[in-house]
Amino acid sequence: MKTFFLKVRKATGWSLIALSVLLMILGFLVVIPSFGDIFGITRNFAVAGGLYAVSIPPWYLGLLLLGPEIIAKTKELYNVTKRKIWRQK
């Protein structure tokens, strides 16, 4: 049962982060005039700001769900870097 919740937690966390990144990219693209004209958006910066504001909660919720994995990966990268820099000759 624990592995099922772990898989669901990871899948949900990555899905939320992917949604957030997609919204951030879309918010950036709306500012480009030709992209805004395609969708008939007249207030580009207001829509871009709204998309960015909507992308913030999924980002932090995804990070919250993936916290243990992010901490473990950070520790692993730190140890590899530490061994490369301060390895004994």
Buried b / exposed e along 26-65 (16+ C-beta atoms within 10 A) = bbebbeeeeebeeeeeeebeebbeebbeebeebbebbeeb
The confidence band for 19, taking pLDDT boundaries of 50, 70 and 90, is very high
**What is the C-alpha separation between 74 and 7, in angstroms, rounded?**
20
pLDDT over 80 (residue 4): no
**pLDDT at res. 30:** 77
Q: What is the pLDDT of residues 23-72, one digit of tens each?
A: 999 888 877 776 666 666 667 777 788 888 999 999 999 989 888 888 88
pLDDT over 80 (residue 74): yes
